[in-house]
Amino acid sequence: MAYSEKVIEHYENPRNVGSMDKEDPNVGTGLVGAPACGDVMRLQLKISDDGMIQDAKFKTFGCGSAIASSSLVTEWVKGKSVDDAVQITNKEIAKELSLPPVKIHCSVLAEDAIKAAIKDFQEKRAKRQGAATTPAVSPSTSTQP
């Protein structure tokens, strides 16, 4: 199958390949996969406390279209707010990369990865805030020997 110029370009020079510390409270990790092709894609976003995406890294084991889709979204989300990043659709990704119909699921995967990473960040933050307020609500429990 013929890949578009843009897919080849991203495949040969993938942007932002790598990983971040997934324990970092400001890092959201999205791990998604498509059983149709056996691909696995990890997208990590470093998000500031005010919800701006400062950095993005990805690691994808899959076909050229899956690699290009994830490489592209790391470029797109950087500098965006979380609210703007979740608006990115697979259609935009597929259009930018001129993906053929059989490869649309690669762009779906990339969209899902963004959403999963942001959800992970938000869940972490909620948990952290929950943990921070718990001792204040019930101070008596921690002092018991």
Any idea which residues carry the catalytic annotation? Answer: 37, 106
Count of residues engaged in binding other proteins, rule: CB under 8 A: 18
CA-wise closest residue to 44 among 32, 58, 34, 54: 58
Name the one range near other proteins by CB under 8 A: 2-10, 46-54, 67-75, 101-109.
Answer: 101-109
Q: Is residue 27 a contact point for other proteins (CB under 8 A)?
A: no
Binder of other proteins out of 7, 27, 32, 82 (CB under 8 A): 32
User: Minimum CB separation from other proteins for residue 99, in Å?
Assistant: 12
Closest to other proteins by CB, 63 vs 85, is: 63
Q: Is residue 17 a contact point for other proteins (CB under 8 A)?
A: no
Q: Which residues contact 135 (CB under 8 A, 6 or more apart)?
A: 142
**DSSP assignment letter at 58:** E
Q: Is residue 139 a contact point for other proteins (CB under 8 A)?
A: no
Q: Which residues contact 43 (CB under 8 A, 6 or more apart)?
A: 29, 30, 32, 56, 57, 58, 70, 73, 74, 110, 113, 114, 116, 117
d(C-alpha 58, C-alpha 55), whole Å: 11
**Interface residues with other proteins (CB under 8 A)?**
31-40, 42, 59, 61, 102, 104-105, 108, 112
